[in-house]
Amino acid sequence: MTSSKRSDAITKGPSKAPARAMLRAVGYGDKDFAQPMIAVVNTWSNVTPCNMHLDALAEPIRQGVRAGGATPIDFNTIVVSDGITMGGEGMRASLISREVIADSIELAVRGHSLDAAVILVGCDKTLPAAAMALARMDVPGLIFYGGTILPGNSKGKDLSIQDVFEAVGAHGRGDIDDGELDRIERAACPGAGACGGQFTANTMAMALAFLGLAPMGAGDPPAVDGNKAVEAERCGRLVAALAKRKITARNFVTEASLRNAATAVVASGGSTNAVLHLAAIAAEADVPFTIDIFDELSRTTPVITDLKPGGQFLARDLYDAGGMALFGRRLLEGGRLTDAPTVSGKTLAEELQDAPETPDQKVVYTVDNPVKATGGLRILYGDMAPEGAVLKTAGYDDGSFTGPARVYECEDDAFKAVQSGAINEGDVVIIRYEGPRGGPGMREMLAVTAAVAGQGLAGKVALITDGRFSGASHGFVIGHVAPEAANGGPIALIEEGDILTINAEERTINADIDWEARRAAFVPRPLNSLGGAFDKFARLVSSAAHGAVTSKSF
């Protein structure tokens, strides 16, 4: 270790006596000042099971940092629970929280001139926010994922939060009664951990491991598994080593590693939110990236896991089968990954090549014998989406869909229509003014897609929005339509009954209308002003096609 370090700015020299005096009051001493000083950034909260256990996992991380010859310094930041806010006004805060979390990490680490950071994450937006902050600051650091929740169980069936949302739809149709809905609600979430399928949290945990910013295997054990604390201690040692060697985040966030991360998303049937988040991480790292990478990969990369929401199994089952490393080994064997460095000190290939496999496991397939021959995401262009839109096809055919538009100006109105039985097979549901700027906040539409699924219409209707879809959403769903309605995008010009055609194979989304006449008659709608952080976000946010970031202009 060289003698100079970033934290010397607060610990070294006569002029820093006041800073040292305050640090001594907290309990730090000369030995602590001489070592790398590492931020242990926690997103702990008891508002959600995803993050409720992270306070306990911070202590083994601290132990690992100390054992590695460094000094841990604790900070906290926020979390906004997607599962709790879903379907309501609070969901507008979710994507905005990603920016606030990244900003707060940057301010704490840079403000105190710390040498490195280890970031504990759980619920959806905390994962990309952690990577965005590390990429933006370009300091040594890594991300530790608190792990998946265990499945709930009712009547012998494994449950996740997806089942609760879909039960709401079934209840609305009259297929289940109040008692059955109550049973599912009470059984679905048995304790700590993030939502259990290949939804956004588990998708991003996998993506960050393949990006190289999270140690392979550290995120795999479920939240309540005894191995979680072991992995936490390992992460503490690893971040101390990174700090001493001064290996910073941008050594890992490269064009090659971003492609590996996108490959993992596509091959696992992961969340469309990863398109938004990987674009944002790339923007923070100043690495060239286009969302078209997902489409390119989907043409040649099969889905090789049978994970919910499109498949049968949950993240706990993937862990039991052999984990992310087994999944990665199969991709490596199939020639779908590029070797790259990771925060563990091993390259990605070294982490994957000897991954064990549980005999007779049913979760992970091979590239030559996949669950689905093509990847789970498509990037669509056309009349409706000049800057692109994201179609999730995992678990569904890749055909075309043509139908009449059913137009709703917000998610709430669309949900009411679904629950009242107003949506029929063959309809194309348009939900607009829910984009990053128009929402503001780009709400997820799980309440709508789950209600559609609960009514037996998943894949039988198409849903199109300038907002987002949850990682737990499934069906023929298209999100991130850009430009968004609030920016005068074509989605704002669609009228009830217009015939729309989506062709997944040709990657097109078009409407058979006179666009010039519609544009001439268009009257812009006033922005939805909520004040405070919401309006600030709306003023700063970029297009979804560029990750909906607030720190860059495009």
Question: Closest by alpha carbon to 300, among 258, 256, 335?
Answer: 335
Question: Closest by alpha carbon to 99, among 290, 277, 282?
Answer: 277
3-state secondary structure of 265: helix
* Residue 529: active-site member: no
3-state secondary structure of 435: coil
Phi, psi of 265, rounded to the nearest 5 degrees: -65, -50
Instruction: Give the CA-trace dihedral at 18, 22, 24, 29, to 10 degrees.
Output: -60
Active-site hit among 94, 104, 271, 470: 470
Phi, psi of 476, rounded to the nearest 5 degrees: -90, 85
Question: Closest by alpha carbon to 507, among 279, 336, 299?
Answer: 299
Q: What is the DSSP string of 358-402?
A: -TT--SB--SSS-SBSS-SEEEEEETTEEEEEEEE-TTS---EEE
Show contacts of 5-12: CB within 8 Å, 24+ apart: 5/36, 5/37, 5/115, 5/243, 6/113, 6/114, 6/115, 6/139, 7/33, 7/36, 7/37, 7/112, 7/113, 7/114, 7/115, 8/113, 9/113, 10/112, 10/113, 11/37
**Structure-block tokens of residue 306:** 């049978």
Residues designated catalytic: 470
